[in-house]
Amino acid sequence: MSPGLRWDHFNSSLPEQSAAAGRFVPARTFPAVPDLPNWYNVVPRFGWAYDVTGRGRTAVKGNVGLYVLSQGTGFAMTYSPSISAIDQRTWTDSNRDDIAQENEIGPTSNVNFGVRRNQNPDPDISRPYQLVADVGIQHEVIPGLGVTVSYNRRQFMDNIWTENIALDRASPLFTCGD
């Protein structure tokens, strides 16, 4: 038997951010966001093997374990208040000075340009994990040649998705991980 227990901690944050003023926007400052998220997980694993005949040729083996999803900077950046966006517009240089004046720039092609999506993590969000288990039998037919039959199962738990809370759950447009 091979029991195991691991303690896993993941803590991410966003530092204070600032963006200089541009031609069409003022300078902006965004406060630091700590603990985005702050997860503590106990991760058990257990494996076993049993020599059925006692001759070392046939073994029944199995294991079960919990595996937390690896996270990096991408999780926190999903919720960053500082955004980058592109807006493609037409420009007619009416006075031929090679400087775009407001009256020479066409309408926006991106109606949400410069607007941060109201995307925030659920305060009770849990860390995604997988429950993995397998059991099998292995038999040595001749030295150097073996046969194995096994059953493997993987179950994904606490998956993260984006839910549009502006839509009613009864709406046919509403879809999520239900």
- The winner for highest mean pLDDT among 31-45, 70-84, 156-170 is 31-45
Residue 177 in this model has a pLDDT that exceeds 60:
no
Confidence of residue 175 (pLDDT cuts 50, 70, 90): low
Residue percentage of the chain with pLDDT more than 90? 51
| pLDDT for 120 | 80
Phi, psi for 169 (deg, rounded to 5): -60, -25
**Which are the contacts of 107, defined by CB distance < 8 A and separation ≥ 6?**
89
Q: Where does the pLDDT of residue 174 fall: very low under 50, low under 70, confident under 90, or very high at 90 and above? A: low
pTM of the model: 0.69
User: pLDDT tens digits for 141-157?
Assistant: 999 999 999 999 999 99
Report whether 150 contacts 59 (CB < 8 A): no
d(CA 50, CA 63): 12
**Cα–Cα distances in Å, from 83 out to 19, 94, 132?**
10, 32, 37
In this structure, what are the phi and psi dihedrals at residue 103, rounded to the nearest 5 degrees? -75, -5
pLDDT tens figures, 46-70: 999 999 999 999 999 999 999 999 8
User: From the CB of residue 135, how many other CB atoms can be counted at a distance below 10 Å?
Assistant: 15
Percent of the chain with pLDDT over 70: 95
Confidence of residue 85 (pLDDT cuts 50, 70, 90): confident
Nearest to 43 by CA among 122, 150, 127, 121: 127
Q: DSSP state, 104?
A: G
Listed in sequence order, the DSSP H helices in 17-167 are 73-78
Q: Is residue 76 within 8 Å of 38, Cβ to Cβ?
A: no
pLDDT digits (tens, 9 = 90+) for 134-143: 999 999 999 9
**Continuous segment of H or E residues that includes residue 29:** strand 28-30
| 75, pLDDT greater than 60 | yes
**Of all helices (H) and strands (E), which one includes residue 151?**
strand 145-157
Token pair recorded at residue 143: 């030295």
Report for 47-51, 167-171, 174-178: range of highest mean pLDDT: 47-51
